[in-house]
Amino acid sequence: GTATAAPYTVTLANAAAGTHTLTARATDNNGAVTTSGAVSAIVDTPPTVSITAPVNNAVITTPVNITATAADADGTVTKVDFFDGATLVGTATAAPYSITLANAAAGTHALTARATDNNGAVTTSGAVSVIVNSAPTVSITAPANNAVFTQGATITVTATAADADGSVAKVDFLYDGTLLSTQTAAPYSFAFNPTIAGTHTLTARATDNNGAVTSAAVNVILNVVPTVSFTAPANNAFFTPGSNITLTAAAADSDGSIAKVDFFLGATLIGTATAAPYSVVWSNVPAGQYQPTASATDNQGAVASTTGFFTVTTAPAYNGRHETTNCSTISGWVWDAFQPNTPISVDVYSDGVLLGTVLAGDFRQDLVNIGIGNGNHGFSFTPPASITSNGTPHIIQVKFSGTQIFVYNTGQNLSCIAPGVPTPPYGGFVDQVTCTVMSGWAWNSQQPDTPINVDVYSDGVLLTSVPANQFRQDLRNAGIGNGVHGYSLATPNSLKNLATQTHSVALHFPGTTLDLNGSPWALTCTNALPLATLTAPAQNGQFSAPATITLAASATDADGTIAKVDFFDGATLVGTATAAPYSVTLANVAAGAHAYTARATDNVDGIGTSAAVNVAVNGAPAVSITAPANNAVFATPATITVTASAADTDGTVAKVDFFDGAIPVGTATAAPYSVTLANVAAGAHAFTARATDNKGGTLTSAAVNVTVNVPPTVSITAPASRTLFAASASVAIGATAADTDGTIARVDFYQGATLLGTAPSAPYGFTWTNVAAGSYSLTAVATDDRGTSTTSAAVAITVSASAGVSLTAPADGAVFAQAASITLTASAINPQGSIAKVDFYQGATLLGTATTAPYSFSWSGAVSGSYALTAVATDGVGGTTTSSVVTIRINTAPTVNLTSPTGGANFTAPANIAVTATAADSDGTIAKVEFYRGSTLITTLTASPYSFTWTAVEPGSYALTAVATDDLGARVSSDAVTVAVNAGAAQVYYIQTDHLNTPRLIADASGTTVWRWDQGEPFGNDVPNNDPSGLGAFEFPLRFPGQYFDRETNLVYNWRRDYDPEIGRYVESDPIGLGGGTNTYAYAENSPLLFFDLTGELSYNTPDTRRTKPVGPDMEAKVGCIETQLNMNLVITGGAERTLPNGKPAHKCKNSAHYSGDAVDFSFKRNPTLPGPDEFFCAALKCGFEWGLQESGDQPHYHIQRIPGGPCNVPRINPCKCQ
């Protein structure tokens, strides 16, 4: 570029980045050229920078990780500064440029990154706005950490969650990290059934409305229940009576250990084993059948149980069962429990005739499984042709060989008919129908290898259907398909549960009425019904409510076993027992009559019911001790009357027995129930009353605890009896006190009946000071920890008159300035002698001595501080008496300086002057600083800094002083500072009023508001804003119309009345006055919307006569004034109304005015030119009248008065119409 005039400058736009060599070449007017030296300049490309994380508008939790990318095309990036708003929060000097902002406050943050390159160029990234979200809080309240549950148990999980800066959106529940449930509203809870044993983690994960997540976890332990089984004795084992039987169990716990194994018979503990092998010995077991229980408890408290069964009986111990009787075989099993592995034989009978004997030696695994020895105890007998070929029915019985003992379930029917040719497609045969079993075969020839069902009917009613699917070799040999067509079922109990019953049993092919061959059968079964007997309670037993009654029964069944015993109260089932001994226990049985029965059910549902046992449950009587009160205390030797109230709702009270602990102390048989105990021993006593009713029911009351207390002992140890003291003496009283069964709570000291003082602990003493002359009786009263008191023997003392002394000056609490001379004066008398001297002391320091009255001494030089002064008078024989202490204070005066304004300062009115003072007190505090204009107080400040602004100061010269007062009342005034306030240039202000003409806002000539009073408090009890625009205080005294505010009195003046805005009432300046009474002035009778009162002299409408003005001598002149104002001629009369010569009143014929007292009536001839009311009343107002009305009727006229008054609510003269 080229420049042709100085300054020689060119501007290069868009200069390329890089290094540039700049020269200037100057050419003069003759063409001579000179080139400057080269200047090297570098044009730098600013770096680039942007925030890559977090993203804009992200919602995150602390800590906040901020990452930025930055590059410089022509250099390097030296640093990246990170800002949160305008606050630097971190710097990164190398890529990757990243910082972590820890503990960022919740809320919105504007993040920027500012990159600086190697040449100092700076670039700021765009702002990224993020929301820092406070994570929610969550805790699991149930289950507790490490809680143990049984495997498969239901676990209820409950959590609490909250979010300080939002709300909880959901709570997820996880089990070992797997989500199980989500809850979106409190209470946060769910239940589940975990099955895998071990320790597992339950987690509650709370998510708030901004997605922040917090988790809490607890561990739970799922415990596998232990396993337990009886290993000895073997199931169904037999023992002889009196045996010692070893009970042994095997127990294991797959996820822990076995803590113990308990062995029970019913609810009775036999023994406990805590280590393997788990075994106890049960000694001397009597005959009976027993079903013991082994309960294993693991290390987590889980319990598992198993039962065994054995019999204690006299040998041999036969057992067995006749199972099957058909046309091909008779079979079952038998054994002798005392020879568990040795086969025995059975005898088989038909109709009582022995068919043969067979050894029960067949092996059967099912017998091994149920503990029948080695299992070699099965038998099978083939019936001879003599009972299977002719179709004749037979009764087959099996006995233990060589005995008359029948095998269980024997006596089965057998009737065999040679099989005929089945009727296609069905074929079948009923082999037997007995009271224990029904068997035979059936098939469908069209489906020869497919089993079919057989329908079983009794008396025409379908009982059941049974599949014919058992393999029989004989059927296969006979060509009946694959032979899988046999059926067998146990005879239903409904056919055999009565004592004797006969049924017609038919077996049909499925879904048809077609009978199998051999059907129907007539079945007659005889069942010996069980016998049940209630063995407890006893007949007509008596119990007391709420009763616990154990019902026990014996039950037997001659031909079977007992399945259960049900117990009934009337028709109501109250319990069931399934094993002997048969009993149930009933709790809280209500009062009344009860009829109990036991109903036994046998193995075929046969029922036997016991006879009823009747019992009565008696409602217990009610009883309570009414006296003495609980925790009452008596002194030994105690006489205590114990009284009880007792009643019985279902009978009468027979007696009330009284007990002291377990010791009976008396009985009362009639109300009032009471006993009196004499000489009750010291100590604690627990009294109870036991009421017995007419049925023997009893109830014992709650205990009432009382204490019989041994009184304490006490004696006065000092002073000794008949000790003599001088007047004003201090008498030290000491006592010893003890309590044998407790402690001393306090010792009170008395003079006669007057309490002198109390000592709460040993040594027990009190000093009675300043005792006047006289004779006294001292006692000590000791009170122990239970409130019992003992009074000591009295000690008599005498206090004789002696010299008396008192400090008469200075006064107690007097304050003196430092360096002051203080005169100490004492009064001393000795009614029985003379005063030798009076010594004056400060504490223990002797200040001076006076030997003659008046006893006085001048003390000077005391420094600041507090002093205790006494006077000690010494009488003629050396006795001394010390006065009461007088405390005085030597006070250093405070210091005060007026620091602002400075002397000679000038201000312009209305001035606002900042006034400041400093004040200090070396030995106390500053109570206040007062600021004065001459002798006029401006303001008072009680705390530093002592500074205020004196506002709206008018022109003039002012001498300002500050007066500091310290905490002891010392006052110091500063040097006066004189300032001048000069009159300022006149200013124009604009006043804005409301509809009542009340000033509400003032603006200066520029329109700036300098004063406003627009809060709208209805009674004006609000303070105007004197500086709404901050230009300085502007004072304006006008308030409601006609009111002037006096800032010094805080009152508002309305001419001759005052207004108090705090109470919203007009008041008199002196409402009491000479006559007393209430405020008698009110603004326009408190109705300013209706009336007006210009001067403030309107009397409130009361009978207060002291405000009534006398008739003035100028009344005629005032009426003449109205005559002149109206330009009229009036006939004016005063006192009695004037009468014209024709006898008529003057006002009837003339324009007239008649006055009396302070009132005037004006009457006018009817003339349209006469003045109207407004014109007339304005004239009256100008002439000194204040009240008026226009009266109509037969004598219309105007009535005016010089003073307020007249009827209420009548329009007064309106001055607004007289402008």
- Label each residue of 124-180 as H, E or C: ECCCEEEEECCCCEEEEEECCCCEEEECCCCEEEEEEEECCCCCEEEEEEEECCEEE
pLDDT score at 292: 92
Q: Which residue is associated with the tokens 């002083």? A: 961
Q: What is the pLDDT of residues 883-930, one digit of tens each?
A: 889 999 998 889 999 999 999 999 988 789 999 999 999 888 999 999
Mean pLDDT, rounded, of the chain? 84
Segment 748-775 shows an average pLDDT of 92
pLDDT of residue 1206 exceeding 70: no
pLDDT of residue 1194 exceeding 80: no
Segment 419-434 shows an average pLDDT of 71
Q: Which residue is associated with the tokens 């009240």? A: 1187
Cβ distance 822 to 859 under 8 Å?
A: yes
Cβ distance 501 to 524 under 8 Å?
A: yes
Percentage of the chain surpassing pLDDT 90?
A: 40
Q: Tell me how far apart the alpha carbons of residues 1215 and 550 are, in angstroms, rounded to a whole number.
A: 110
Segment 1058-1063 shows an average pLDDT of 78
Q: How many CB atoms are located within 10 Å of the residue 510 CB?
A: 15
Q: Tell me how far apart the alpha carbons of residues 406 and 402 are, in angstroms, rounded to a whole number.
A: 11
Alpha helices in 313-373 (DSSP H): 365-369
pLDDT of residue 859 exceeding 50: yes
Q: In terms of DSSP bridges, do strands 632-635 and 704-709 run parallel, antiparallel, or are they unpaired?
A: parallel
> Which range is least confidently modeled, 115-119, 618-622, 673-677, 1211-1215?
1211-1215
pLDDT score at 1141: 42
pLDDT of residue 294 exceeding 90: yes
Q: What is the pLDDT of residues 204-234, one digit of tens each?
A: 999 988 878 899 999 998 888 888 988 888 7
Percentage of the chain surpassing pLDDT 70?
A: 88
Question: Residue 409 — φ and ψ, nearest 5°?
Answer: 75, 15
- Of 332-336, 411-415, 550-554, highest mean pLDDT: 550-554
pLDDT score at 990: 92
Confidence of residue 1170 (pLDDT cuts 50, 70, 90): low
- Of 20-29, 553-562, 930-939, highest mean pLDDT: 930-939
Strand ranges (E), 362-508: 362-363, 376-381, 394-400, 412-414, 426-433, 437-444, 452-458, 461-468, 470-471, 484-490, 500-508
Q: How many CB atoms are located within 10 Å of the residue 1016 CB?
A: 8
pLDDT score at 423: 45
Give Cα separations from 1077 to 602, 1057, 1086, 1096, 1102 (angstroms).
111, 16, 18, 18, 11
pLDDT of residue 770 exceeding 50: yes
pLDDT of residue 258 exceeding 90: yes
pLDDT of residue 1022 exceeding 90: no
Q: Tell me how far apart the alpha carbons of residues 1209 and 1199 are, in angstroms, rounded to a whole number.
A: 15
pLDDT of residue 1085 exceeding 60: no
Tokens standing for 412?
């089965």
Give Cα separations from 801 to 767, 771, 836, 839, 872 (angstroms).
19, 10, 17, 21, 16
Q: What is the pLDDT of residues 495-537, one digit of tens each?
A: 887 877 788 899 999 989 888 887 888 888 888 888 899 989 9
Cβ distance 442 to 467 under 8 Å?
A: no
Better pLDDT: 1142 or 329? 329
Confidence of residue 1140 (pLDDT cuts 50, 70, 90): very low
For the four alpha carbons of 1083, 1085, 1088 and 1091, in that order, the dihedral sign comes to negative
Q: In terms of DSSP bridges, do strands 58-60 and 437-444 run parallel, antiparallel, or are they unpaired?
A: unpaired
pLDDT of residue 393 exceeding 70: yes
Better pLDDT: 1031 or 268? 268
Question: Is this prediction's pTM over 0.75?
Answer: no
pLDDT score at 1095: 58
CA distance from start to end of the chain = 85
DSSP secondary structure letter of residue 1081: B
pLDDT score at 1138: 41
Q: What is the pLDDT of residues 442-464, one digit of tens each?
A: 999 889 999 999 999 998 899 99
pLDDT of residue 776 exceeding 50: yes
Q: Is the peptide bond before 719 cis (omega within 30 degrees of 0)?
A: yes
pLDDT of residue 86 exceeding 70: yes
pLDDT of residue 687 exceeding 80: yes
> Which range is least confidently modeled, 711-720, 998-1007, 1072-1081?
1072-1081
Give Cα separations from 48 to 77, 100, 115, 281, 884 (angstroms).
9, 21, 7, 93, 91
Better pLDDT: 542 or 1217? 542
Better pLDDT: 869 or 501? 869
Q: What is the pLDDT of residues 558-614, one digit of tens each?
A: 788 999 999 999 999 999 999 999 999 999 998 888 999 999 999 888 898 998 999
DSSP secondary structure letter of residue 1099: B
Better pLDDT: 627 or 1115? 627
pLDDT of residue 1033 exceeding 70: yes
pLDDT score at 1049: 72
pLDDT score at 988: 87
Cβ distance 749 to 595 under 8 Å?
A: no
Q: What is the pLDDT of residues 139-161, one digit of tens each?
A: 999 999 999 888 778 899 999 99
Better pLDDT: 315 or 192? 192
Length reported for the chain: 1219
pLDDT score at 1062: 79
Give Cα separations from 998 to 993, 1040, 1046, 1054, 1082 (angstroms).
5, 5, 17, 14, 19
Q: What is the pLDDT of residues 155-182, one digit of tens each?
A: 999 999 999 888 898 999 999 988 888 8
Confidence of residue 64 (pLDDT cuts 50, 70, 90): confident
Q: Which residue is associated with the tokens 């082994």? A: 294
Q: What is the pLDDT of residues 369-388, one digit of tens each?
A: 878 889 899 999 999 988 88
Burial status of residue 184 (CB atoms within 10 A of its CB: 0-12, 13-18, 19 or more): exposed
pLDDT of residue 1142 exceeding 50: no
